[in-house]
Amino acid sequence: MKILDYLLNPRLRALIRKEFAQIRRDRRLAISLIIPPTLQLALFGFALNATVSHLQLGVVDDSHSVESRDLIATMTQSGSFDLTRTYGSVRELGEALSRGELDAGLAIPTDFDKDLNRGRPTEVQLLLNAMNANTAAIGQGYAEGVIQNWNQTLAQGNLHVKFRQVATNPGTLRGTVTLHPAFLFNPALITNWFTVTGTFGTLLMLNGSLISSAAMIKERERGTVEQLMMTPATTSEIIIAKILPLFLLLCMLVLFAALMLKLLFDVPFRGNIFLVLTGGALCVLCGIGVGTFIATYTKSAQQAQLMAFFINPPLSSLSGALTPVEAMPKWLQPITWLNPIRHFGIITRSCLMKGSGLDTLWPNYLALIGFAFILLTLSVRRFRNQLG
């Protein structure tokens, strides 16, 4: 009841109405709450896609046989490679790769068909442009998969003589191991689901810090902070009135972004969406705490942007939002646990894609609550000292 009576305080309500009116008059701030996060989430979801397809393929076919043409057709029909052109020699193919015209090159030897028909092992050379190591590794995997499937079709087309075994020793028989992989939680291997669920927390954190710092600095530049000190409102009421409207507006951004995950990217909602929204609200509080803390150490918008440049990029890079934490060096992985974005990413992915509940995710919620409390306490203390 004391908290409710405090929030219903006429002075506090008047200050909150003033903040909402100020945000409504500031069109740039209102636009920055809606348009940039929406565009960023959509662009990151579509552009940051680890799936590589339609690699530009060049071919040197010295065999000119039915088998070589069948192999080339199989490579291009897979959808992983697009045949750009054929070359007369491996040297020309290498020059095209060095000019960046191709992503991969396939060289088929002269005796390719003869070796196959005689039952001899034969080799084809695959040249890969490894300027982008990730694309080269994925292209190699695609080519190996195509060759493996093509070999199976060759084996099915050949004649095999089968002899009936008269006497056998069962103790000497050896079986074969067959692998049947099962992809849990994302059977179609849609990479966008990993990207957008990680970008979700990054946008909340970054936009929360940028918008809150901009709002605080504009208040100081207009000179209205001194006018607020002349009112009967206490320092705590002024701080709450500054933070509460931004928090409510950014919570609307959480809800809007969650709708985009479902409608635009078709991310499954297997768990309780309320847990995701609660985690998003805690992530917003962390962002507001960072932004307010930045505003207390800067005197202009330019200084705030420069200081945010040294804070926000490390938070984004060390979050596991866009790249897996397991891909980072071993000594760097424990540091990511000090990042609120990583905990919110775990909550979002586990809740939406795996259907996890609070019984599994409670450590991450406790971490977000702790980060929000520490950041808001430090920023409020700094802001109160400035008002004093």
Average pLDDT of the residues in 263-281: 91
Rounded to an integer, what distance in angstroms lies between the CA atom of residue 4 and that of residue 330? Answer: 48
Residue 344 reports pLDDT greater than 90:
yes
* Mean pLDDT (whole number) for 89-108: 86
* Inter-residue contact 103 to 128 (CB < 8 Å): yes
pLDDT (0 to 100) of residue 39? 79
**Given CA atoms 128, 59, 97, 78 in this order, what sign does their dihedral have?**
negative
Whether residue 138 is predicted with pLDDT greater than 60 in this model: the reply is yes
pLDDT at 156: 62
Q: Are 304 and 213 in contact (CB under 8 A)?
A: yes
Q: Is the pLDDT of residue 166 over 80?
A: no
Which candidate, 301, 221, 289, places its Cα nearest to that of 22?
221
The residues spanned by each domain of the chain are 8-48+189-387, 55-148
Across 15-19, 172-176, 206-210, 382-386, which has the greatest mean pLDDT? 206-210
Q: What is the pLDDT of residue 2?
A: 53
* Residue 245: band (very low, low, confident or very high) from pLDDT cuts 50, 70, 90: confident
pLDDT reading at 365 higher than 90: yes
Q: Which residue has the higher pLDDT, 142 or 285?
A: 285
User: pLDDT tens, 273-316?
Assistant: 999 999 999 999 999 989 888 888 887 778 887 888 888 888 88
Percent of the chain residues past pLDDT 90, beyond the cut: 12
Q: Residue 179: its pLDDT value, please?
A: 59
pLDDT at 381: 83
Mean pLDDT of the chain: 80
CA dist 295 → 127, 176, 303, 381, 382 (Å)? 53, 66, 9, 12, 9
Residues whose CB is less than 8 angstroms from the CB of residue 198 and which lie 6 or more positions away in sequence, other chains included: 319, 320, 321, 322, 341, 345, 348, 349
pLDDT the model gives residue 383: 75
Q: Over pLDDT 70: what percentage of the chain?
A: 85
The answer, yes or no, to whether residue 159 has pLDDT greater than 50, is no
Range 55-148 has CATH code 3.40.1710.10:
yes
Q: Does the pLDDT of residue 218 top 70, yes or no?
A: yes
Residues 182-203: tens digit of each pLDDT: 677 787 778 788 888 888 988 8
Per-residue confidence (pLDDT) for residue 387, from 0 to 100: 62
| Per-residue confidence (pLDDT) for residue 133, from 0 to 100 | 73
User: Residue 345 carries which DSSP code?
Assistant: H
